Amino acid sequence: MNESALLKLKVIVERAVRPVQATISRKKKMREELLANVTGVFEDELPRCGNEATALIQVEKRFGDLGELSRTLQQSVPNNDVFNRSVERLIKPRIGQSLVQRAGLCGMIVFAFNLILVQPLFYLIIVLHGGEIGIFSDGNWGYWIGMPIHSVFWGIHAFIGTLLANRLERLLFGTSERSLSTSTSFAFLVTYLLLVLPGAFGTSHGMSWGTPNLHISLLGLSLFHMTLIWVANLISSEKLYRDEWSQLQID
C-alpha cells in the first residue's frame, strides 16, 4: 500500500474519531485499531476492485456511517474518562503557549497537587503516628512546619524538569535542532548543577563528600538523566503522533 492510500484511510478513521470526547490515550487506541481494520479491508478489496479509488469507496461503504460511528464510540467511553480528560486538558500544550508558560503551569499543578493532596496525607500520618516515629514530638516541630515548603520545592522541580525534558527532546529527537555535541554539553551542565553545586553547598555547611555519598549521588544522577531522556522520548513520540493526526484535513 502506498502513502497516499494510507493517508486516505487515516482520513476515514479520523472523521469518526476526532469528534469523540475522550482522553488522548483512548482516542489513540481507537485510531490505531480502526486504522488496522480499514487497512485490512482495503487490502481485501484492492484485488477485487482492481484500483485504489474503488477500493477506498468500498472501505467507506463497509465501515458504515461515520457520524453514527462517532456517536457509538462516544457511548463506549466510560464515565471515569471525564475526570482523566479534565486533568489531561490542564497539562496539554495549548496553541501559542510558550515552553516557560507550560513549565510554569506544570510546576503550579505539581505544587497544588502536593499541597492539597500529598501534604494533608503526611499531616494525617504524622498526627496519627508521629509520636511513634519521633516526628511531631516535643521539640521536633521543624518537620511539621517545613512540610508546606516541600510543596514549593516539588513545584520548582517540576518547572525545571519540564524545561530540561523539552530542551533535551529538541536536542535528541527534534528535526531542526538535533545535536549530539550540544546534548552532551547539556548533560554536563545538568550534572554540574545537580552534583557539584549542592556538593559545594553541603561542604560549606560542614558536610563532606565521602565515597558512599558520591556513589549514591552518581547513581541518583544517572537515574535522573535516564528519566529525563525517557520523558524527552515520550514528548517526542507524543509530538509526532499529534502532528500525524491533527494535520489531517477531514472536511
Partner 1 sequence: MIIWFESRIVFCLTINYKSVYDNRMSEITGDKLRGHLETMILSSLEKGETHGLEILRRLEEAGCGLLKLKEGSLYPALYRLEAQGLVQAVWEEEMHGRRGARRRFYRLTSKGNRALNTGREEWVVFARTIGGILGAPA
Instruction: Tell me how far, at minimum, the Cβ of 233 lies from partner 1, in Å.
Output: 19
108 binds partner 1 (CB under 8 A): no
Question: In terms of CB distance, is 63 or 111 closer to partner 1?
Answer: 63
Smallest CA-to-CA distance from 99 within 166, 179, 178 is with: 166
Minimum CB–partner distance for residue 58 and partner 1 (Å) = 11
If binding is defined by CB under 8 A, does position 6 make contact with partner 1? yes
- Cβ-based nearer residue to partner 1, 2 or 249: 2
Q: Contact between 33 and partner 1 (CB under 8 A)?
A: yes
SS3 of the chain: the string is CCHHHHHHHHHHHHHHHCCCCCCHHHHHHHHHHHHHHHHHHHHHHHHHHCCHHHHHHHHHHHHCCHHHHHHHHHHCCCCCHHHHHHHHHHHCCCCCCCHHHHHHHHHHHHHHHHHHHHHHHHHHHHHHHHHHHCCCCCCCHHHHHHHHHHHHHHHHHHHHHHHHHHHHHHHHHCCCCCCHHHHHHHHHHHHHHHHHHHHHHHHHCCCCCCHHHHHHHHHHHHHHHHHHHHHHHHHHHHHHHHHHHHCCCCC
Closest CB 90 distance from partner 1, rounded Å: 25
Task: Identify which of residues 36 and 128 has a Cβ nearer to partner 1 in the complex.
Answer: 36
- Distance of alpha carbon 100 from alpha carbon 97, whole angstroms: 8
Q: Which is nearer to partner 1, 12 or 168 (CB)?
A: 12
Name the one residue in this structure whose C-alpha cell is 549521588. 217
Question: By CB under 8 A, is residue 235 in contact with partner 1?
Answer: no
Q: Which is nearer to partner 1, 195 or 248 (CB)?
A: 248
Per CB under 8 A, does 39 bind partner 1?
yes
Build a one-symbol-per-residue string for 62-101: x at contacts with partner 1 by CB under 8 A, - elsewhere: xxxxx-xx--xx-xxxx-----------------------
Q: Does 55 bind partner 1 (CB under 8 A)?
A: no
Least distance from C-beta 89 to partner 1, angstroms?
A: 22
31 makes contact with partner 1 (CB under 8 A): yes
Contacting residues toward partner 1, per CB under 8 A: 1, 6, 9, 16, 29-37, 39-41, 62-66, 68-69, 72-73, 75-78
